[in-house]
Amino acid sequence: MIIRCCVIYLLLHLTGKVSLQDSANTFDRVVGDSVTLPCIYVNQQPSTDVLWRLNASIKVLNIIDGNPSTEKQDGIFRNRIESFPSEYAKGNYSIKLKDLNFNHAGIYTCFLQMPNEEKMIQLFIKEKPDKPTEKPEKPTERQNNSCMETESQKILALLTTLLGLTLHLI
C-alpha cells in the first residue's frame, strides 16, 4: 500500500500536473527599470482567474475570464502594468512592471484561482547608480538553468524514493 502511494505521488509530481512552472523567483532591479514577473501555468484549464498582489493585499492586476482588469488597482501601479492577453490561452499570466520605484519592492503573488495555486516572486529595488552600468544582454546562468534545476530535483526525489523503497524491501 505504501509503495502504491509513493508511486502515485511521484508520478503526479514528475509529470508536473499539480504545480506551476518553476523559474527564478527573485529579481533585483534599479529605480526606473522595468521587470517582467513570470507566472506560467503548465496545465492550463479554461477560464482561469488570476489575481496579482503585492505583499498579499495590494491589488496589482486581476485577470477575470481572460480579461485584464485594473478596477480598484492600487495607485502605485496605474499606467505601469502590462499584461499579455494573447498568451493567456497558453497559460502565461506574466506581467511587466514599468518605471519601477521603491514602492514596488516586495513579494508579488500570482494566485491562480482554479486549481487554487500560487507563485511568489520577490522584487528588490535598488537606487540607480551614479555611473551607468552595462546591462547583461543574455539571461543569467541562474535563469538559464532554472528548468534544469527543477528536473534535477525531480529526478533526485525519484531516486531517493526508489532507494528508500529498495532498502525497505531488503
- Of 82, 31, 27, nearest to 60 by C-alpha is 82
pLDDT over 90 percentage in the chain = 46
Whether the Cβ atoms of residue 11 and residue 157 lie closer than 8 Å to each other = no
CATH architecture of 21-125: Sandwich (2.60)
Domain range summary for the chain, segments of one domain joined by +: 21-125
> Over 80: is that where the pLDDT of 96 sits?
yes
> Over 80: is that where the pLDDT of 162 sits?
no
Interval 7-63: pLDDT, tens = 444 444 444 433 444 445 999 999 999 999 999 987 766 667 999 999 999 999 999
Whether the Cβ atoms of residue 52 and residue 107 lie closer than 8 Å to each other = no
Q: Burial level of 167, CB count in 10 A (0-12/13-18/19+)?
A: exposed
> Over 70: is that where the pLDDT of 134 sits?
no
Q: Is 144 helix (H, G, I), strand (E, B) or coil?
A: helix
> Over 60: is that where the pLDDT of 142 sits?
no
> Over 70: is that where the pLDDT of 158 sits?
no
Higher pLDDT, 91 or 102: 102
